[in-house]
Amino acid sequence: MQAAFQTTFGAPEVLRIEEVAAPALGPTQIRIAVHASAVTRGDLRMRASDFPGVGGVMARLMFGWRRPKHSTGGMSFAGRVIAVGAAVERFAVGDDVFGAAERGAWAEDLVVDGESPVAPMPAGATYAEAAALPYGAITAWMLLRGRVQPGETVAIVGAAGGVGRYAVQVARHLGATVVAVCSGADAARVRALGADRVVDYRRADFTAGGPQYDVVFDTSDRATFGQAKRALKPGGRFITIQLAMKTLAQMLWTRLVGDRRVIFAMALPARADIEQVGELFERGALRAVLGPRFGLDRIVEAHTCAEAGAKGDVIVEVRRALEAAA
């Protein structure tokens, strides 16, 4: 099978398409013909081993210190089940599925455990839409559920980004008033996703005006707790996906002192989270925001486009070349 392959960390050009052996299928596993995958910010960081702060040490231990532990990248996927192990009961050949894998989605075939974060594809979704959901939508859902209550006001910093555009939708679904912090050029896009108000960070300080937010969710690296604190109401929460020693110290300190909390969490999805996001898509509470699409043979271009800040999820249509030749 064809797969995107890398043996070293670096720029998009470290990726190349090679013919590799298809992974073996175990008794509890399913084999998926991958139709689409996304190029996420997490994928870009893992390709380049570009992890800031203390998170860099943890990431290198997990994904490879000097070279990638997994030569084929890609975490989010959508495709069709083409084989099942003898012990698998959840899926059958022909099922359309989507989900999150540790690595390996930039390949024609992907083998995952039947109990891993994989679920039936949402009704009405295309492969590209389903592949776009596992990263941004799952991260937003896992970090905001239980932390946002109906009637609260939530500021989403980086609202037009890969996590932010789903965080706007999730916060709105949870019943919050949503303030999107992004560039003015993205204002119409985030309003269409459900933002009640937009703050252009280039022209205004979203923290000005005193306590006004119950939650500030920093999906970028633009906000700090020091900045956000003055805009948080008593009992407010500052949520971040940026791991740093300072963040860990602030989490501990704010558990002991004061009434405003710092929260960091890693979005490590379970099967139930994938299923829930699929249900939200089917109910119209979430929609995918798609950017440019590339065939697997253009994986370098896909990464270059994602790094340039595409206005939507960059999609790798893995089987495009195969279908065109058929």
pLDDT in tens, 108-125: 999 999 999 999 999 999
Q: Specify the pLDDT at position 61.
A: 53
pTM confidence score: 0.90
DSSP 229: H
Q: Specify the pLDDT at position 325.
A: 42
Listing DSSP states for 44-90 in one string gives: HHHHHT---HHHHHHHHHHH-SSS-SSSS---EEEEEEEEE-TT--S
pLDDT in tens, 9-29: 899 999 999 998 988 999 999
Q: Specify the pLDDT at position 56.
A: 55
The Cα–Cα gap between 155 and 18 comes to 44
What's the mean pLDDT when you consider all of the chain? 90
Q: Do domains 2-125+288-325 and 137-264 have the same CATH topology?
A: no
DSSP three-state, residue 121: coil
Domains of the chain, by residue range, sit at 2-125+288-325, 137-264
Q: Are strands 232-240 and 213-218 parallel, antiparallel or unpaired?
A: parallel
Residue 119 in tokens: 């679920």
**What is the CATH class of 2-125+288-325?**
alpha beta
* Residues 135, 48 contacting (CB under 8 angstroms): no
Q: What is the CATH number of domain 137-264?
A: 3.40.50.720
pLDDT in tens, 50-61: 666 555 555 555
* pLDDT interval class at 151 (50, 70, 90): very high
**Residue 252: CB partners within 8 Å, gap ≥ 6?**
none
Instruction: Identify which has the larger pLDDT, 46 or 267.
Output: 46
The Cα–Cα gap between 258 and 217 comes to 19
Residue 206 has pLDDT above 70, yes or no: yes
